[in-house]
Amino acid sequence: MKLGDGVEQAIHSVSMLAGLSDGGVLSAAALAEFHGVSTSYLLKHLQALSGAGIVNTVPGPKGGYKLAKATEEISLLDIVLAVEGPEPAFRCSEIRQRGPNRLPGRYFTKPCQISAAMLKAERVYRAELAKTSIADIVAQLAADDDGGIAARGCAFLEINERKAAR
């Protein structure tokens, strides 16, 4: 089972955007610099987050990204589904219906037992991811911080936050 690198980048980026002041935005280049990742690759994930209604894009030379909703309303599941797509990890290709001496269609009206069990585990996984919000992540980070992490983030935002955006 694999998740792309984009998930880590997207969750960190959303957490960073949580630190913006009202009306502030961050460019994709700034987000990429802060996380030491490729801007073009991150842009793809920011577009996915935008498509899912997690971030808003402010266009123009002073534009950038900001959160589209409160951090309490953005779960890790929202971000994973935005970046990875909504399809389940297990994709049943109905191999039970292939091969020699096939059975009539009435045997395949219910989902395959294997598919059902795999999808049940995925529902549990998703439910667990849905329990953690970006607000939780930011609060946990703050609880573990003696001030150094916040100071670094604030200094970076001080330099890179664009305030001219609506």
Binding site for a second copy (CB under 8 A): 1-3, 5, 7-9, 11-12, 15, 33-37, 76, 80, 84, 89-93, 95-96, 98-101, 103-104, 107, 110, 113-115, 117-118, 120-122, 124-125, 128-129, 132, 136-137, 140-141, 144-145, 148-149, 152, 155-156
Strand ranges inside 11-157, DSSP E:
55-58, 64-67
Give the residue carrying structure tokens 């992540």.
137
Q: Please, which residue, 8 or 57, has the CB nearer to a second copy?
A: 8
Q: Please, which residue, 70 or 89, has the CB nearer to a second copy?
A: 89
Q: Please, which residue, 60 or 131, has the CB nearer to a second copy?
A: 131
State how far the alpha carbon of 54 is from the alpha carbons of 15, 84, 96, in Å.
Answer: 11, 14, 39
CB of 43 to a second copy, least distance (A): 16
CB of 163 to a second copy, least distance (A): 20
Query: Measured between alpha carbons, how far is 148 from 166 in angstroms, rounded to an integer?
Result: 30
Q: Which two tokens stand for residue 9?
A: 């980048």
CB of 166 to a second copy, least distance (A): 28
Question: Position 75: which residue type?
Answer: S
Query: Measured between alpha carbons, how far is 33 from 55 in angstroms, rounded to an integer?
Result: 18
